[in-house]
Amino acid sequence: MKKLIISIMAVAVVCGFSMRAQAQDYDHELGLSYGVFSTSNWLDGFDDVTIITTSAGKIAFDKGTFIGPIALEYFYRINPLVGVGAIGIYGNCKTDFISDKAIIGKETNSYFTVLPAVKLDWFRRSNFGLYSKIGAGITIRNEKADFTNDKGEKQNASDTGVHFNWQMSILGVEFGSSIRGFVELGCGEQGVALAGIRFRL
């Protein structure tokens, strides 16, 4: 029994040194990314459908332009497996109101999101890694609209709201040493797919 305990302890020590050797000597990660199809992007699409439906088809939208999601993220490594931190995300959507094939107004929506987050590095090598990431927080949505009503009068409106938001990156792949490129697949405010660059300090 004593020999078994000593053997288990020896294996644990060797594994610990091995994990430490694979880990880089850094505590901080700072990343910048750009994604596609964020939750805010989907919400804009649902809003457009709602307005078209309630106006009985009298008001339509062009495709609009969606910028983002642009994300800045920071993680502090508490051990080789787990990093804790936060993600800040910005998105912007501009759309034209159309009635009888004429542009009658413009709408601009801006999204500012903060997500406390956890990153799990479940496969780590000096120049390659696989990980998952999850975060949950809030989005501040700022809406502004300028339009012409049925009487030909110029009008404007604005509104600000707050709603729950998240990011769940099921698979992340990163490559490089102190400066790493990365790509992620998942869903949420950073998008269903995103790519970026990460600095490890």
User: In 10 A of CB 1, how many CB atoms?
Assistant: 5
Indicate the pTM of the whole model. Answer: 0.77
Task: Specify the pLDDT at position 120.
Answer: 97
Query: Which of these, 94, 108, 104, lies nearest to 159 by C-alpha position?
Result: 108
Query: Which structural domains are found in the chain, ordered by start?
Result: 26-200 (2.40.160)
- The mean pLDDT values, 10 residues at a time, for the chain of 201 residues are 45 43 71 95 60 48 78 96 97 80 79 98 92 98 78 76 96 95 97 96 90
Question: What's the chain's length in residues?
Answer: 201
How many other CB atoms sit within 10 Å of the CB of residue 191? 27
Q: How far is CA 173 from the centre of its chain?
A: 15
